[in-house]
Amino acid sequence: MDAPPESIELYCRAAHEYKASDLILHVGEPPIVRVSGSITPMEAPVVTREDLIAFRNACGVPVTSTDHDARFISSEGVRFRVNFHDHFGGQGAVLRRINSVIPDIHTLGVPSLPLCEIMKRRSGILIVSGSTGSGKSTTIASLLDWVNQNLERHIVTIEDPVEFIFEKNRSLFTQRAVGIDTANFAEGLRRALRQAPDIIMVGEIRDAETASVALRAAQTGHLVVASLHTNDAPGVLYRIVENFPGDEQEQILGLLANTLCAILSQRIFLSEDEKNHVMVTELLTNNSAVASCIRDRRFEQIVGLMEIGRKDGMHTFNDMLEKLYLERRISKEDAVAGARDRFRIEGLLRSHPNLQ
């Protein structure tokens, strides 16, 4: 593979210095960085078609490909996940900066204590959900790092691409990249079952085949940790089940009811002063009532079970938004906009006039 053009290296260096989450390149436009959720054009020359072609070559991406995922490590060692794509009238690339430092799970703002207890289990599935950029990969990496520091486990990861690099401590890691070390997530999962794993991490559940293999792995004495692009806990259940044909859904519901440990859903908000990110989560843990609802496909009751399941460590987005608003960590507008039940949040605001 060829070396990337110097212009791309300069853009990547600037994105790292800005602490940008994303670097957006469109031919004929100046590069754009996303910082704290907002996009800003850089004061730099426009991206040329020649630059983008050379960058594709450096990442091993065919020039004829219209949509391709890749990975890139800059000359300064900063790692990026890259999507090359054609769009109406041009070509572009989006680089997502990967933080090489794995944060402590107790500093992320997620419910670390129940999650760490789940990581001690020998079977079942933990699903971390959220939109792109909500920190799913970071949460999962932090949980695996906690295992590495505290437990003796063999952890097999299937990722696209490999993001965080783990060094052996108390646990052993086998990290495999989709498209390089294995054909796809489902195939990587099947092969992982023959690699004597204790924990299998699946970078993303994208289809029915991956979901099926993941649930069966969770049923046969492995702890599976996976991510899914959905907005909340009920959405995870809908997404998994609706991947399957109708005649298979009853079996999948049974597998989910039997193997689910928990669903952590997360979102990122800006703090009220707009200087920091604030993690907002909801947590569904499995108990007999939850399992019964899953088995009978009564997903509409899941939110109510989270609301009354605090003794089992559960909470909803509304619970978290209320808490963060009362602590003045997020704005009134964000609390209302992010709520599942806006009337409840608005009632909270009326009952605390001093916070208006």
Residue 5 structure tokens: 């053009």
**Residues contacting residue 39 through CB under 8 Å, at least 6 positions apart:** 22, 24, 32, 33
pTM of this structure: 0.87
**Residues contacting residue 119 through CB under 8 Å, at least 6 positions apart:** 126, 143, 146, 147, 151, 199, 223, 225
The Cα–Cα gap between 139 and 127 comes to 11
The Cα–Cα gap between 84 and 268 comes to 25
Domains and CATH numbers, the chain: 6-98 (3.30.450.90), 105-315 (3.40.50.300)
Token pair 């790092």 is at which residue?
A: 145
Tell me the β-bridge partners of 80. 72, 97
Which alpha helices (DSSP H) does 29-176 contain, by range?
Answer: 49-58, 112-119, 136-150
Cα within 13 Å of Cα(151), Cβ side: 18
The Cα–Cα gap between 230 and 204 comes to 11
pLDDT in tens, the chain (356 residues): 578 889 999 999 999 888 888 999 999 999 999 887 789 999 899 999 999 999 999 998 887 788 988 889 999 888 898 999 998 878 999 999 887 789 999 999 999 999 999 999 999 999 999 998 899 999 999 999 999 999 999 999 999 888 899 999 999 999 999 988 999 999 999 999 999 999 999 999 999 999 999 999 999 999 999 999 999 999 999 999 999 999 999 999 999 999 999 999 999 988 877 678 899 999 999 999 999 999 999 999 999 999 999 888 899 999 999 899 888 898 888 888 888 877 777 776 676 655 55
The Cα–Cα gap between 356 and 354 comes to 6
3 state SS of 303 = helix
Helices 246-259 + 288-295 axis angle, to 10: 170
> Amino acid identity, residue 349?
L
**Residues contacting residue 38 through CB under 8 Å, at least 6 positions apart:** none
The Cα–Cα gap between 58 and 72 comes to 8
167 C-beta neighbours (distance < 10 Å), count: 7
Q: What is the pLDDT of residue 50?
A: 93
The DSSP code sequence of 157-200 is EEESS--SPP--SSSEEEEEEBTTTBSSHHHHHHHHTTS--SEE
